[in-house]
Every structure is written in structure tokens, then in C-alpha cells.
Amino acid sequence: MTSRPDLPVPYEALPNPRGGSVRLAEMALTDALHAFQRQGETGAALKRAIAALHSAGWLPAQRFAEALTLVAPLGEESEGSHARIADAIAVFRGAVERRNLRELSCSTALFDHYRGLHALLASHTRIAPVSYDDLALAGRAIAPATLRGIAPERLAHTRARYEETLLKLLRGQAEGSADTFARLDACLGELRGPDPYDFWRLASSAVVALRERAQRTGGELDYIADVKRLYARFNLVLADQAHALSYAPRSLVRATLALLWRDFALYGARPEDADHVDVLRDYGLTVAWHVAATPESEAAWEESAAQAGEEASRDAATRDLGVLRVNASAYEDFLQSAETSIDALVERGTQANETGMVDEAAALSAADASHRLGAAACALGLGHVALLADTLGLAWRRVAHHGETHADGAEGATRGIDATVPERAAQMLRSMLHQAAAGIAPSEGRGSIVALTSMIEKPAPFAR
């Protein structure tokens, strides 16, 4: 999807007036833009921005700033290149100033600029092409998506019907393809298995969510183009499944998950989106619940948020956590809500480590506590805390869904997990929160994220 300048809302996600600001990055990007417009040296300013964004844990923004650093020297080649890079710096600076971490991850406008920057680089050096999930899922663990075993005759029949219908979709017009979509969705339904991480569950949710968004916004051409590309790529997975492969390609899982998350991250979810949100939560991604029925109501909310942001900047007391400056009231609210969640997480982790098993309900409860903490940290701007909490939540969901059944028959009990991993991660989270409470910038928690990622991305045994 591309940005829509004709819509009343001038950017994709609302400002976050109670979120933390990285003033060092904002000032560095302003300096970089002014220097670039004068054809001066931008490297030092952009490196300051990268360091500040890294310290705050704003990883997608850090990745964007790194691309700017590589491309900025090419701005002297032509007026077109100069204008493109200057526009990218200005748009990126505006997004950083809005303090919305989900926008910095999922903004299609930012990704369009990011892809454009890499296109300039590609004309000078051999680099891999970029995809939307490079920004949206930066630093995140991805759970393997399974492909269940299906009788060869049945799979061949479903695959033949899918390919025949897909060919009609790719040759036809989107406006007349409602029945075609229904037939394709029916094929995906036949392929779907009971595993929460079955690839076809994710695939079905993604294409349906994109089409629903197209109907609500009128941006049908952009969304349907994404839908068609996904259906075409799903056909390749059918070939993998026919060859008895057990897992979908990781790159396609990332791409599908990022597109499913995109609009919910930017605009929020409605009650009727609960099934899609459940899929996202199983993959460690959270959203805000929001109802804005029309572009006019969205614009009104935007105006209110901007006014609240001005008032917060003018009147509210602030606290500094390293490079992050936070609203004092939001900071206190976060610490109070985080205390309950982290206590529950540490207790679950310790119990699982001592007994070697945990029941499914307890694991899901720990996952929910992690997700609440991650969402609250994201809203405040604590990027490192948010990423570790989301990753821990995903790890607990993997335990809940893929833990081995306990041999003594205890209903719902699971074993076969390295319980020291989530326990240590919870202890690290507690340490990071203590640092925040003391007015110190939380550490990265990189070691815990690496250990959790290894646990999450390890293929779980399942029956084909």
C-alpha cells in the first residue's frame, strides 16, 4: 500500500502525546536536513541520530537512519536524487517527532522512502532488495509456521482448484473477483490444520484482513494488489506442501505477518477484528483497540491528539531516562501497571523452572502479562523493554501451544521446555524496570532476546 495524499488525514498514525521523545535524534535529524539542503556534511548528524535511536531501542527507526547515512553522499549526483533524499529525511524526522513506535515500524510512507533509498544504493553497489518486513519486524523473533500432512490425492485436488482460480484472479479485474476470492479462501480453509501456528491460519487471516480494510477505506487498488501477490506466493507453498515439507518459508511467513499487522498497528483494531488480533498475539505482536468509523472522525481525533501533545509539551513535568524524555505522569502510570505484570512473569518463570512443567492456562496468562507490559512500554517509548516483553510473550505462547504433554496425564500440563530461558528473561525485564524506576535508561536485554529467539524459532515436533 502506498500513502494516499488525497485522504483527510495527512499521515498514517496518530501522534503519541504521552510517549517519550528522543530529542537528541530529533535535533540531529534537523541538523542533517539543514546540512543536506546546503550540500554540507550530514554524516556526523546522522550518526548522532543513529546512536540516540539505538539507545532508546527504536530499532526500525535506527535502521532507517542507517540507510540515510549510506545514501546521503549520493545526493550530489542529480537534482532528482537530492530531492528524494531530502524528502526522506524530512518525512522521517516528522515521524520520529510523533513518538509513535508502531508508525515508525509499519508506516507505508516511510517504507516507500526506505525502498527508494535502497534503489539509489542499488545503482552503485550490489545489495539485497528490501521488503516491508525489514522495517516492520526489525529485531523480532518469528515462530515457524507449520504445514500439516494431507493425503496426496486430496492435496492435489485442492491445489488444482486453487491454481485454476488463482489464474482467473491474476488475469481478471479486482472489481469482479469477490466470487474468486471466496473460492480461494475455501481452498485455504481446506488446507488449514489445528496447530495455532499452521501457516494457512496466518495466510487466511492476512488476505481477509486486507480485503476488509480495502472495503472500509476505499483504497482498493493498493490493498488488492497486496492480496493478489500473497495469493500468488501461497501457490508456491502448496508446491512445498506437496513435497512433504513441514514448514512454510520463513521469508513468506515474515512478509505475510507484517502485512497482517500493518493496518492494525497503524490504525488500531475494532471488536470485529478479534480473530485477526488473536493471530497476531500468537506471533508476539500487539495492537491498540480503536474505533474510528470515518475519515472525519479520524481527523478530529488527530486534531485532539495534536492539541493534547502541545499541552503536554508545554505544561507537563518530564523525566529523562537516558536519551528518552518522558511525560512524568505517563511514566508513573507505566511503572504502576508494569509492577503487577512483572511480578506475575517472574513467578511463572520461577515455578516452571522448579517443576519443569507448566499448564497451558498458566503459560497463556504469562504471555498476556508480557503483552500488556510490552504494549505499555511501546506507548511510553521504551523500545528495549517493549521488544523483550513482546518476545517473552511469544515464548510463553509457544510453550502453551507446543509444550509436550506430561507423561503422568495431568490435564493441560506441558513439559520439555527449557524453563530457565523465560525465567531469566523475566528477571532481566524486572532489572530493566528497576533501572527505569531509578531514572536510568534500561539496558538492551540483548542476551535474553537472543536466548528467547533461539527457543521460539526452534521447530517444535508435530504430527504430519
pLDDT-based confidence at 93, cuts 50/70/90? very high
Determine the pLDDT at residue 409: 41
- Within 10 angstroms of residue 274's Cβ, the number of other Cβ atoms is 10
pLDDT-based confidence at 183, cuts 50/70/90? very high
Q: How far apart are CA 393 and CA 185, in angstroms?
A: 30
Q: What is the pTM of this model?
A: 0.89
**Cα 24–Cα 28–Cα 30 angle in degrees, nearest 5:** 120
Stretch 76-103: mean pLDDT? 93
Q: Is the pLDDT of residue 177 over 90?
A: no
85-99, 396-410, 418-432: which range is least confident on average? 396-410
> What is the rounded average pLDDT for all residues in the chain?
87
Stretch 298-305: mean pLDDT? 61
Stretch 229-241: mean pLDDT? 95
pLDDT-based confidence at 418, cuts 50/70/90? low
Determine the pLDDT at residue 53: 98
Stretch 333-342: mean pLDDT? 89
The answer to whether the Cα torsion of 38, 42, 48, 53 is positive or negative is positive
Residues 397, 367 contacting (CB under 8 angstroms): yes
Percent of residues, the chain, with pLDDT higher than 90 = 66
Determine the pLDDT at residue 291: 53
Stretch 358-375: mean pLDDT? 89
Q: Is the pLDDT of residue 62 over 90?
A: yes
Determine the pLDDT at residue 273: 94
Is pLDDT larger for residue 267 or for residue 87?
A: 87
Determine the pLDDT at residue 306: 61
Question: How many CA atoms are closer than 13 Å to the CA of 319, on its beta-carbon side?
Answer: 21
Closest of 1, 16, 5 to residue 301, by C-alpha = 16
Q: Where in the chain is the domain with CATH 1.20.120.160?
A: 316-457
pLDDT-based confidence at 65, cuts 50/70/90? very high
Stretch 136-151: mean pLDDT? 95
Q: How far apart are CA 190 and CA 200, in angstroms?
A: 9
State the virtual CA torsion across 328, 331, 337, 343 in degrees, nearest 10: -130
Q: Is the pLDDT of residue 189 over 80?
A: yes
Domain 316-457 in CATH: superfamily?
HPT domain (1.20.120.160)
Residues 181, 235 contacting (CB under 8 angstroms): no
Determine the pLDDT at residue 16: 87
pLDDT-based confidence at 181, cuts 50/70/90? very high
Determine the pLDDT at residue 125: 82
Stretch 183-194: mean pLDDT? 96
Determine the pLDDT at residue 312: 55
Determine the pLDDT at residue 327: 93
Residues 6 or more apart whose Cβ sits within 8 Å of residue 326? 19, 20, 21, 318, 319, 320, 380, 381
Q: Is the pLDDT of residue 462 over 70?
A: no
Per-residue cell: 326 = 518522558
Determine the pLDDT at residue 1: 36
Is pLDDT larger for residue 356 or for residue 261?
A: 261
Stretch 410-426: mean pLDDT? 68
Q: For the chain, what is the HEC assignment?
A: CCCCCCCCCCCCCCCCCCCCEEHHHHHHHHHHHHHHHCCCCCHHHHHHHHHHHHHHCCHHHHHHHHHHHHHHHHHHCCHHHHHHHHHHHHHHHHHHHCCCHHHHHHCHHHHHHHHHHHHHHHCCCCCCCCCCHHHHCCCCCCCCCECCCCCHHHHHHHHHHHHHHHHHHHHCCHHHCHHHHHHHHHHHHHHCCCCCCEHHHHHHHHHHHHHHHHHHHCCHHHHHHHHHHHHHHHHHHHHHHHCCCCECCHHHHHHHHHHHHHHHHHHCECHHHHHHHHHHHHCCCCCCECCCCCHHHHHHHHHHHHHHHHHHHHHCCEEEECCEEEEHHHHHHHHHHHHHHHHHHHHHHHHHHHHCEEEHHHHHHHHHHHHHHHHHHHHHCCHHHHHHHHHHHHHHHHHHHHCEECCCCCCCEEECCCCHHHHHHHHHHHHHHHHHHCCCCCCCCHHHHHHHHHHHHCCCCCCC
Q: What is the pLDDT of residues 274-300, one digit of tens each?
A: 999 999 999 999 998 875 545 555 666
